[in-house]
Structure 1
Amino acid sequence: MDDGDAIPLSQVYVHNYLHLLGIVILFYDHAITFDGEFWRVWRTPRSGASILFFVNRYFAFFSNIAITAGNFALFQTIQGCAHYAFYRQLSLIVAQVIVAVIQFLRTYALYGRDRRIVIAVLSVAAILLSLSIWAVVGQTSTYTLAQGCHAASSRTSAIHIAVAWEALFIWDLMIFSLTFFKSIQNRGQYAGGRNDLVSLMIRDGAIYFGVMACAQCSNTLTFYLSPPALRGCLSTFASNMSVTMMSRLMLNLHRTTMNGSRNYDATTTEFGSVMSTNMRFTSRFGTTNVHTNGAHEEDAPSNSRSAGGSSVTAATSEDYEMRDMRTLT
């Protein structure tokens, strides 16, 4: 596509609407979960898990504000628009790298800090990252300053960029496969209702992978099937869905470790609480046998609770997010 080619305004409008869809999902989720975040993360001591949570949640939050402002800003030069487009792509990449790091740490804990898993996962990650960098670097686009800053990719460039999203899909598939394999591998050691916990983890992991697979595949298809200005139009949506689901997953981890096993006997397994990825995040396995005697779930949490006149200390999310699961059995 030549630089002089104009991008149809109809494509610009559709791109803006789809961009705003991803923004609304991210910001709406912030609004409805901030209360739980305040009590379960802000009011607790800092830890590695909480720092990861803040990085994942707030890098995406503030970078999306800047991206949205630039999307509708009136740039004076094509060069300025190109710099904005580079920043947008870089922000998307960093957000996905943060999510991938969290996924790796949780898988690392799930496998009891097995060095073989570290070597295997990091080797695959290095290959996928190298492939993504090769695919993205050097690609060119046509820019328009009408109704903001918008880019249109040639078919060749679009196919190269699609490779990066396909690499991300392979990463998610690998993480889900490792989770599924570990669940099946240890299923026989649980009796009776404890198999329900393993089934729950498989179900939660399947839901997470299913949602992200749909979002990523939909975005990837736009690079192959859509007109130039709409290639990659679901990138913001796919990225924000990934960040939102990971934030929900981690909030649920804090909820589980703080509230213990309200109204049921909690069971600590080799898996701990690391694999709850349901959008509702209703995992039924916790960290200790704690009864809250009807205490409201949204009350300010405490790491120490009273049960029948004695104090019972609940484990923190750090115990499950960052340490060997085998030490918790």
Structure 2
Amino acid sequence: MSETATEAQIQEAIYISRILILVPLTVLVYEYLLTLEYEASTFWGTRLTWGSFFFYLNRYTSLFGTLPILIQYYSTTTEPRKQPVCQALRLYHQYFALLSQVLVSVMLIMRTFALYQRNKTVLAFMLVVTIGAFVFAVVILLSGNDVDTLAPNIAAFGCPEGTSHAKSLRLAGAWSGMLVFDIMIFSLTLVKAFKMNARRGDLLTLLVRDGSIYFGIMVISNACNIGTYTMSGPFLRGGATTVTNVVSSVMISRLMLNLRDPMIRRPQSNNPTRLSSSEDPVISTVSPYTTEYTTTNTQWTSVLDDQ
């Protein structure tokens, strides 16, 4: 079934899709400038480890890798000789989205593995779910064909490109694998938070410290992106992909920066397993209120920082 739209509808959809690219890029740049000084004081000049390597890779790939996507969406050329460039930008967009999610997934697995004190059963569970989601995504992407169901006046409109309904459903299915992964990480972190809460109250504080709220935001962002594939028009399908990638990148970068917080690595109180309320970090990866503080923080640090 062919999809049609008027030129005015196409222009409106392209305008919205451009906003969905510009806004997250602006947030990404603002976040970078906001945390640059802290990054310089905690990461620059230190020994390069797996943790810092993935931190730099995620942070700067996201920052500079989004620029070609901005060019793609703001290009208005319809000249035939420019179409190969547009096609290359579209292909780049797809692979960049995949790379962004792979980087975030690796770092989240490392974090959760450390949070559970290197529990190999938990690691095996995460790997099974992750590999299963990845295989599912690859199969569903390769199982269909990309027959264009868009009307000629929609199929090419500068570099912005409409996505057919059949293809969008397959892409939504592929992204659902990432949603399953996010839910798994969110659930494991939430379980850890509740277990800590069994020894001390203030659940919200523990939820924040364990990053559960961060992961909740990532889950919601991913779900909204899937919704654009299934419920939006041709030019808005997948329009929230960049939003999802930026949210994921910013969240994991924040968690890594918080890990380097001196108050987490070197408690200032006399009790090494406890911090006063005035010393509590806004968000950290462990709860300093439990006897697990030293053990969990050491495991998390040794996994990511090899220290």
Instruction: State TM-score, norm by structure 1.
Output: 0.74
Q: In the aligned structure 2, how far is the partner of 1:224 from the partner of 1:119?
A: 32
Identify which of 206, 209, 215 aligns with 2:212: 206
Answering whether residue 1 of structure 2 is matched by residue 25 of structure 1, we say no
Q: Is the 8 A contact 1:267 1:285 kept in 2?
A: no
**Residue in 1 aligned with 2:291?**
none
Answering whether residue 276 of structure 2 is matched by residue 320 of structure 1, we say no
Answering whether residue 260 of structure 2 is matched by residue 254 of structure 1, we say yes
Q: Is the 8 A contact 2:115 2:286 kept in 1?
A: no
**Residue in 1 aligned with 2:111?**
106
Whichever residue aligns with residue 105 of structure 1, its letter is M
1:5–1:136 Cα change, 3 Å:
farther
Q: Is the 8 A contact 2:208 2:283 kept in 1?
A: no
Identify which of 81, 86, 91 aligns with 2:91: 86
**Residue in 1 aligned with 2:40?**
38
Q: Is the 8 A contact 2:186 2:216 kept in 1?
A: no
Whichever residue aligns with residue 300 of structure 2, its letter is Y
Answering whether residue 153 of structure 2 is matched by residue 173 of structure 1, we say no
**Residue in 2 aligned with 1:151?**
161
Q: Is the 8 A contact 1:108 1:117 kept in 2?
A: yes
**Residue in 1 aligned with 2:224?**
218
Q: Taking every aligned residue pair, what percent have the same amino acid on both sides?
A: 25
- Quote the offset at 1:186 in angstroms: 5.5
Q: In the aligned structure 2, how far is the partner of 1:249 from the partner of 1:166?
A: 24
The structure in which a higher percent of residues are strand is: 1
Whichever residue aligns with residue 213 of structure 2, its letter is I
Q: In the aligned structure 2, how far is the partner of 1:163 from the partner of 1:71?
A: 24
1:40–1:56 Cα change, 3 Å:
same
Q: In the aligned structure 2, how far is the partner of 1:246 from the partner of 1:133?
A: 25
**Residue in 2 aligned with 1:290?**
none
Q: Is the 8 A contact 2:115 2:300 kept in 1?
A: no
Whichever residue aligns with residue 189 of structure 2, its letter is T
Whichever residue aligns with residue 220 of structure 2, its letter is C
Answering whether residue 98 of structure 2 is matched by residue 63 of structure 1, we say no
The structure in which a higher percent of residues are helix is: 2
Identify which of 123, 126, 134 aligns with 2:131: 126
Q: How many corresponding residue pairs?
A: 283
- Quote the offset at 1:225 in angstroms: 1.2
- Quote the offset at 1:77 in angstroms: 3.8
Q: Is the 8 A contact 2:189 2:212 kept in 1?
A: no
- Quote the offset at 1:153 in angstroms: 1.1
Q: In the aligned structure 2, how far is the partner of 1:32 from the partner of 1:129?
A: 34
Q: In the aligned structure 2, how far is the partner of 1:268 from the partner of 1:224?
A: 48
Q: In the aligned structure 1, how far is the partner of 2:162 from the partner of 2:182?
A: 28
- Quote the offset at 1:199 in angstroms: 5.8
Q: In the aligned structure 2, how far is the partner of 1:4 from the partner of 1:206?
A: 43
- Quote the offset at 1:112 in angstroms: 2.5
- Quote the offset at 1:173 in angstroms: 0.9
Question: Does the residue aligned with 1:230 lie in a helix, a strand or coil?
Answer: coil
Question: Does the residue aligned with 1:153 lie in a helix, a strand or coil?
Answer: coil
Question: Does the residue aligned with 1:227 lie in a helix, a strand or coil?
Answer: coil
- Quote the offset at 1:21 in angstroms: 1.1
Q: In the aligned structure 1, how far is the partner of 2:51 from the partner of 2:111?
A: 10
Whichever residue aligns with residue 15 of structure 2, its letter is Y
Question: Does the residue aligned with 2:206 lie in a helix, a strand or coil?
Answer: helix
- Quote the offset at 1:83 in angstroms: 2.2
Instruction: State TM-score, norm by structure 2.
Output: 0.79
Q: Deviations over 1:285-315 (max 9, x none)?
A: 56xxxxxxxxxxxxxxxxxxxxxxxxxxx9x
**Residue in 1 aligned with 2:247?**
241
Q: Is the 8 A contact 1:218 1:234 kept in 2?
A: yes
Q: Is the 8 A contact 2:141 2:174 kept in 1?
A: yes
Question: Does the residue aligned with 1:229 lie in a helix, a strand or coil?
Answer: coil
1:322–1:56 Cα change, 3 Å:
farther
Q: Deviations over 1:191-237 (max 9, x none)?
A: xxxx2587633344331122112211211111111111111111101
- Quote the offset at 1:9 in angstroms: 1.5
Whichever residue aligns with residue 132 of structure 2, its letter is I
- Quote the offset at 1:90 in angstroms: 0.6
1:130–1:121 Cα change, 3 Å:
same
Question: Does the residue aligned with 2:161 lie in a helix, a strand or coil?
Answer: strand
Whichever residue aligns with residue 191 of structure 2, its letter is F
Q: Is the 8 A contact 2:226 2:238 kept in 1?
A: yes
Q: In the aligned structure 2, how far is the partner of 1:2 from the partner of 1:43?
A: 57
- Quote the offset at 1:259 in angstroms: 6.4
